[in-house]
Amino acid sequence: MSVVITVAQQKGGAGKTTLAANLAAALAEHARVAVLDIDPQRSLARWHGLRAGQKGVPLIALSDLSGWRLAAEIDRMRRAHDVLIVDSPPHVESDAQAAIRAADLVLVPVQPSPPDLWATEGTLKLARDEKRPFRLVLNRAPASGSLRAAVEAEIARQDLPRLEAVLGNRVGFAGAFAKGLGVTETSPRSVAAAELRAVLAEIMGAIR
């Protein structure tokens, strides 16, 4: 079975690329993984370029094709790999729509503040219109606090599907990214790696 996971959220800085890279690195330990970067900023493609300089890490395939060939490219990459992770640009347009349409699961990272939650609305509408399953993923979440509680309460009030596992604000994510790696590779025993594995486990449960 091959799986397409699209990371989408129209707000920049939400953690899309960080989540995509770390999931790809963790999955690549056991599976044939490809990443598709359709954000013109090409951060994930640059991460992949840094990874090419690392020895002894599992290979991950990369494409950065977008535009009118995107749907065919997703199809081609899906067939050649176990998992395809698509990182999308910070706006809702035709490329993001095609990436959501092709997804078995759409992940929507959101930082725990009201404007960040509001910013998910366009992406969630796309996922609903395309009838694709989606999950919010709280990113850079403090361990506790009124802001996190307020955002979690609002997510529950709207009955939005979310992962229970959350990612904290951990410098390890940026450090690993700068090397073309994931936190499960740079610091497998860190809290960040444990959080990432918990997120991954829930994702796999949601797909099966």
Ligand X SMILES: Nc1ncnc2c1ncn2[C@@H]1O[C@H](COP(=O)(O)OP(=O)(O)O)[C@@H](O)[C@H]1O
Return d(Cα 95, Cα 64) in angstroms, integer. Answer: 12
| Residue 112 interacts with ligand X (CB under 6 A): yes or no | no
Q: Where are the beta strands (DSSP E) in 74-152?
A: 83-87, 105-110, 134-138
Q: Single out the residue of 2, 97, 113, 169 in contact with ligand X (rule: CB under 6 A).
A: 169
If the CB atoms of residues 17 and 139 are measured against Mg ion, the closer one turns out to be 17
Return d(Cα 187, Cα 131) in angstroms, integer. Answer: 37
Return d(Cα 115, Cα 5) in angstroms, integer. Answer: 25
Q: Single out the residue of 73, 155, 177, 193 in contact with ligand X (rule: CB under 6 A).
A: 177
How far is Cα of residue 196 from the mean position of the Cα atoms in its chain?
11
| Residue 48 interacts with ligand X (CB under 6 A): yes or no | no
CA angle 54, 108, 173 (to 5 degrees): 30
Binding mask 41-80 for Mg ion (x = CB under 5 A): --x-------------------------------------
The interface with ligand X within residues 74-103 (CB under 6 A) comprises 90
Q: How many chain residues interact with Mg ion (CB under 5 A)?
A: 3
| Residue 10 interacts with Mg ion (CB under 5 A): yes or no | no
Binding site for Mg ion (CB under 5 A): 16-17, 43
